[in-house]
Structure 1
Amino acid sequence: MIESVLIFARATPHHHTGGMETLAWSLAAEWAKVVSDVQIVTTAVPGARESFSADGVTVVPLSNARPGVYSSAWWDESLAYWRSRKTAPSVVLSVSAGAYSVVRERSRHPQTPFVMQAHGTSAMEIASKLRAHDLRSVATAPKNVIGLVRDLARYRDFDRIVAVGENVVQSLVAKPQSWSVPPDKVRLIPNGVRAEDHGFDARARAEVRSALGIDDGTTVVGCIGRMHVQKRLDRALRGAAMLRDRGCADQFRFVLVGDGPDEGRLRGLVRELHLEDMVVFVGRVEPDSVRKYYAAADVSLLTTARLEGLPMAVLEALACGLPCVVPTGAVGSQALRGVLHEVDAGDPGLLADALKDVAPARGARASLLPSEFLLEQCAKDYLTLFGELGSLRRG
């Protein structure tokens, strides 16, 4: 029986919003419904010097570790916290590399299984940076080579590595990762979302479109997520320019929700391509408000050049009943292939064709998300794995 779950994560939604942070928190809150003690040890949380509770989860911020990033202080303080813990947790979950320093001293509580949640691999990150065709990204690739060496040294210390998507499984079982990870150590548990948190909201749709000055007959293409060069939102803008050149400017609006380091370049590209009447920058919105923008959209568009694990934005859009246009192979899920519209996102003409061909989701709509991607199933699969590993360790 799982009585306690101890999670090491460098960031949570209290730091910033991202797919990895959202999933870890959502799972922790779901586990807290049936597990008496769920804790997340994390970096310093702005405005919170002491431990606090939210959604049934206890958050333990390590105040000397810089918020949201790996640092020498994080490795030292997370290890010190582990050493100070007198009672053994039922399981330790490392969100990405979060527990790398702790797992090296797992002998302190030898019956506790250690599980790593992998959202990607360093090899995938290196490939993503090369695919982005951006000198700034390529210049940071050597850092990921160092990360790859570190990963190969640490993977072997975990009882299981949970891949959040099929692309991650393929990377983990390929060389050089396979030198450190036997195939039987890898378990696929796809990301999951809580359907009711992302269901269609007709009132929100009307409110958002009214605020943006968009009538109900216009097809809204929603691009929701962080503005980073590897996300290649410039592809979306070039697709918009192609639609305009084909005489469809009045039929489409591209709504970009989020912020990030690439925002300035994207705004400049909008001016360069004369797309001011077709593109709306909404900026960063609170996680609870993202649902409104999915409701306001008619099509969800992902143009990333990254080798993704399993993008939460795609699952959230499908839960809202939105048709999703994605780059070919970006999602890498056989179960989702039937509900996604794949396209060569690097070709503006093909992207424009796809957006014109996809029937816009207007009126009341039901979820398109297969049941295996629901948060409840995801949380249950983890708990089953934790129980299996606990029995093996005790045996």
Structure 2
Amino acid sequence: MIESILIFSRSTPHHHTGGMETLAWRLAAEWAKAVPEVRIVTTSIPGRSEPFTEDGVVVTPLGGTRPGRYSRAWWDESRAHWRSLTAAPSLVFSVSAGAYSVVRERARHPETPFVLQVHGTSVMELGSKLRAPTARSLAGTPKNALSLVRDLARYRDFDRLVAVGENVVESLAARPQNWSATPDKVRLIPNGVRAEDHAFDVEARRRIRRLLGFDEETVVVGCVGRLHVQKRVDRALYAAAALRDRGLGGRFRFLVVGDGPDGGRLRGLARKLQLEDMVLFTGRVDADDVRDYYSATDVSLLTTARLEGLPMAVLEALACGLPCVVTAGSIRSEALNRVLHEVDPTDTGALADVVQKVTRERAPRTNLLPPNFLLDQCARDYLTDFAHLIALSRS
């Protein structure tokens, strides 16, 4: 039996909203339904210095650490927390590199298995920067190279490497990652979402459209997620300009939901392309309200240049019954590719064509997500593997 799960994560939804943080929190809440104690150790949370419990999960912020960031203080304090434990947890779960300093001290509790959740690799990150190069991103490539060396050293220390998508499995199986990420350690457990949390809501659709000034005849194209240059939301703006130039500017509206470091540049580009009447930026939206914006839209665009693990935005949009247009080759999944519309987003005309095509007729909004990408299945797969690792460690 799994008595306790100890999670190390640099950030949670209490720090900021992101796919990695959302997935880790929702998995923890699911595990807490079956496991007596689930605890997340994380960086300091502004305004919350003491441990607290939410959704059945105990959250322990470590004082003196930078909120939501890796830092020397995080490595030191997370290791000190591990050393302070008198009773060993059944299993340690590392969200990305969260437990990298802790795993080096695993001799403190030698029977505790360590599991690393891999959202991407340093090689994937380097490839993403080269696909969407900026002076700032290119300046960070030496850091990614150092991260690769660190990853190769740490992969050896974990009992299991859980890849969240097939792109990650492929990267781990390639050199030099496979020197440390041996095939017997790697397991694919795709990201999952709770379908009911993202189900289409007709009342939310009407309310958000009234709020934003969209009538029901308007076709709303949604771009949901963090505004980062590697996400290449600018490609969606060029597609909007192409639709306008075809005389369709009155029919289409583009809704950019989220914030991030690329927000200012994107707003400037919208002005330059004279899209002020066609593109609306919402800024940051609370995670609980994102479903309402999906309900208000008619198609979801993910024009990323990143080498993605498995974007939560795509799973959420599919659960809301939205046709999803994605960068060709960005998602490696036979099950998902059957319900996705792939396109080369560098071809603005082709991107505009597919947006027109998938919104020509509005289909009934029902869940399009294949069952193996549902959160409860994802959580069960983790717990099954955890129980197997715990049994091996005690045999």
Same fold judged by TM-score > 0.5? yes
Matched, 1:278 2:278: yes
User: Could you tell me which residue of structure 2 aligns to residue 377 of structure 1?
Assistant: 377
Query: Equivalent residue for 1:245?
Result: 245
Aligned to 2:148: 148
Match of 1:311 in 2: 311
Q: Deviations over 1:305-327 (max 9, x none)?
A: 00000000000000000000000
What does residue 263 of structure 1 align with? 263
Residue 199 of structure 2: aligned partner:
199
- Name the CA distance, whole Å, in 2 between partners of 1:297 and 1:336: 20
SS at match of 1:391: helix
User: Structure 1 pair 48/303, CA: closer, same or farther in 2 (3 Å)?
Assistant: same
Are the counterparts in 2 of residues 4 and 89 from structure 1 also a CA contact under 8 Å?
A: yes
Q: Partner of 2:14: helix, strand, or coil?
A: coil
2:180 and 2:349 map into 1 onto residues whose CA distance is: 43
Report the Cα distance in structure 2 between the residues aligned to 1:53 and 1:63, rounded to whole angstroms. 17
Q: What's the secondary structure of 2:7's corresponding residue?
A: strand
State the distance in 2 between where 1:338 and 1:363 align. Answer: 17
Letter in 2 for 1:275: L
Report the 3-state secondary structure (helix = DSSP H, G, I; strand = E; otherwise coil) of the residue aligned with 1:246: helix
Deviation at 1:361, TM superposition (A): 7.2
The letter of the residue matching 1:52 is F
Distance 1:197 1:345 in 2: 29
**2:345 matches 1:345:** yes
Taking the aligned partners of 2:196 and 2:160, their CA distance within structure 1 comes to: 30
Alpha-carbon separation, structure 2, partners of 1:65 and 1:281:
33
For residues 293 and 236 of structure 2, the distance between their equivalents in structure 1, rounded to whole angstroms, comes to: 17
1:200–1:364 CA contact under 8 A, matched in 2: no
Alignment of 1:37-76 (within 5 A): 37-76=37-76
The separation in 1 between residues aligned to 2:389 and 2:361, in whole angstroms, is 44
CA–CA separation in structure 1 for the residues paired with 2:339 and 2:135 = 35
Q: How does 1:31-42 map to 2 (within 5 A)?
A: 31-42=31-42
Aligned residue for 2:15, secondary structure, equals coil
Report the Cα distance in structure 2 between the residues aligned to 1:361 and 1:97, rounded to whole angstroms.
Answer: 45
**What value does the CA root-mean-square deviation take over the aligned residues?**
0.9
Aligned to 1:110: 110
Match of 2:96 in 1: 96
Unaligned segments of structure 1, at least 5 residues: none
Which residue number corresponds to residue 169 of structure 1?
169
> Residues 331-378 of structure 1, C-alpha deviation per residue, up to 9 Å, x if partnerless?
221110000000001111110011011136747511000000000000
TM-score when normalising by structure 1: 0.99
Paired residues in the alignment total 395
Aligned equivalent of 1:393: 393
Kept in 2, the 8 Å contact 1:323–1:361? The answer is no
Q: Distance in 2 between matches of 1:180 and 1:22?
A: 28
Q: Report what 1:229 is aligned to.
A: 229
Q: Secondary structure at the match of 1:222?
A: strand
Amino acid paired to 1:77: E
1:151 match: secondary structure: helix
Q: Which amino acid aligns with 1:75?
A: W
Shift of 1:64: 0.9
Does residue 320 (structure 1) correspond to residue 317 (structure 2)? The answer is no
Corresponding position: 1:78 with 2:47: no
Deviations 1:81-118 (A, max 9, x none): 00000111111000000000010111111111100000
**TM-score, with length taken from structure 2:** 0.99
The runs of at least 4 aligned residues of structure 1 exceeding 2 Å deviation read: 359-364
Q: Encode CA deviations 1:15-40: one digit per residue, 9 max, x unaligned.
A: 00000000000000000011110000
Amino acid in the other structure paired with 1:28 = A
1:287-302 alignment, distance < 5 Å? 287-302=287-302
- Tell me if structure 2 keeps the 8 A contact 1:200–1:295: yes
For the residue of structure 2 that corresponds to 1:15, the secondary structure is coil
Identity %: 69
Contact 1:299 1:360 in 2 (8 A): no
Give the Cα separation in 2 of the matches to 1:188 and 1:144. Answer: 24
In structure 2, runs of 5+ residues without a counterpart are: none
